A and B are shown apart, each in its own frame.
Chain A
């Protein structure tokens, strides 16, 4: 190996490596690479000074800028809220009637309400609010706890049978399972309840049976569902005379409801949604399925 030997063609020195007569030029690293190395080094030194960088045992260098991801996101959320404040402040400070009377504000409510509903409510109540077995249909206007925006907002805030101290609570007793009614009585009242909304009578649903069911109903059910079976918003008892059936309208489903009782559960949203969000959702939910007749 011969160090410092010059290549006769280029005039450069060689590395001294030789393979079968082929020698390697000792070409220096191009200047531009060294330039970028220098720039990158300079950048990192500046970065170390400005940003959180070096670990120091139990702590670390905080950097002159005091940068923190958490502060950035908190600020971004705050700024976005401030930006929305142009119209959310008006929602916070107006009552529902005033908001509803303002078409521009209602447009914002519908737009934002749709997103809020999709993120929080749609998995149970459906994207269009049409519900499902055990999850109330919000577009049918068959409200369990009242359909005014104030009532809806309260339901959203405290939930139903939820962990909130102010929660709305209701329970339909297990009339059959807990032995409050005998099995024939349950069958009678099922036939009667189904007749209230004019459903096709099930097998064995004779007029005598319906008549017997009326007496069972008067003795056990009217406290919550009312004399005429029209329900009661105070206790979340559904209207039995309309076409909406939360748990199904066939004989077996109604039997299951009377026999085993029902106790739906809606979580409360007080800790997850802001008061403005709740107001927006209340108006949005009320608008589902068109205007109240």
Chain B
């Protein structure tokens, strides 16, 4: 053994390779099994996909860097569970590409923000957070309600998501642009198609308070209002308790 080490130590390439092999063992043992162990991602048969409007809102969330201050993961800690609700499950972000768990909270966690506040509040808060929360340090996002949402390429976004495993059907991809309009315009002819393709539980409202033009505000609020509501797996999760 001392002789083997003596030899290895004197071969630069061999020693580098040996270091890489040894230091990758930890990573291999810790990370690789997550792809094979069947408990890693829970089962959630009721899980639904993001609608085109929600996906567009998610893209805006990424664009504006919301994840830099807001996490979307409730950890398995008592104080977090009591404040935010059931801890996050892996399955809840199975259609998130990329995931937006975040690593820092300047603002609160948003994993279960969907339905917690009204659309009107979300709009007022994004327009100027200090109008509703005087001590807020969040920037204002006024342009969201001025910017018309770009919807014509949403089908391509859905297609890209389906390439990485999100179960979008061809009908969903083909109708993406119309569905985005329909979801923000409950009285339009396109609203029925959204229900048909994405289910009864889909929020169909004029999210920014004004039907007609679909704005980036519509998209972002639609996304925020669905956070934590794609599946009920988290509330259904049951762990044995000792009295």
A residues lining the B interface (CB < 8 Å): 55, 57-60, 68-78, 80, 82, 119-120, 122-124, 132, 134-135, 163, 264-267, 271-272
Interface residues of B (CB under 8 A from A): 29, 32-33, 36-39, 76-78, 81-83, 85, 87, 115-121, 124-125, 131-133, 235, 237, 239-243
Contact: A55 with B37, CB < 8 Å? yes
Q: How far is the CA of A135 from the CA of B125 in the complex (A)?
A: 12
B242-A73 in contact (CB<8A) = no
B38 and A267: CB pair below 8 A? no
Complex CA–CA separation, A95 to B67 (angstroms): 44
- With A70-B76, A72-B76, A267-B118 in contact, is A119–B83 under 8 Å at CB? yes
Given known A-B contacts A119-B83, A272-B116, A78 and B77 have beta carbons under 8 A apart = no
Decide: B37 and A76 in contact? CB cutoff 8 A: no
Residues of B within 8 A of A71 (CB): 239-240
Contact of B132 among A78, A82, A132, A163 (CB under 8 A): A132
**Complex interface: chain B residues within 8 A of A135 (CB):** 121, 132
> Do A78 and B118 form a contact, CB below 8 Å, given A58-B36, A59-B37, A73-B76?
no
Chain A residue contacts of B120, Cβ below 8 A: 134, 264-265
In contact, A69 and B76 (Cβ under 8 angstroms): yes
Contact check, A123 vs B76: say whether CB atoms are below 8 A apart: no
Q: Which residues of chain B are near A68, meaning CB under 8 Å?
A: 239
Q: A123 touching B125 by the CB < 8 A rule?
A: yes
User: Using Cβ atoms and an 8 Å threshold, which residues of chain B touch A60?
Assistant: 33, 37, 39
CB-contact partner of B117 in A59, A82, A123, A264, under 8 A? A123
Instruction: Please tell me if the beta carbons of A132 and B131 are within 8 angstroms of each other in the complex.
Output: yes
A residues less than 8 Å from B82 (CB atoms) = 77, 80
Residues of the A chain whose Cβ atoms lie less than 8 Å from the Cβ of B237: 70
Given A55-B36, A134-B124, A265-B118, A70 contacting B132 (CB threshold 8 A): no
CB pair A124–B77 under 8 Å, yes or no, is no
- Complex: A58 Cα to B35 Cα, angstroms: 9
Report the bound CA distance from A6 to B241 in whole Å.
67
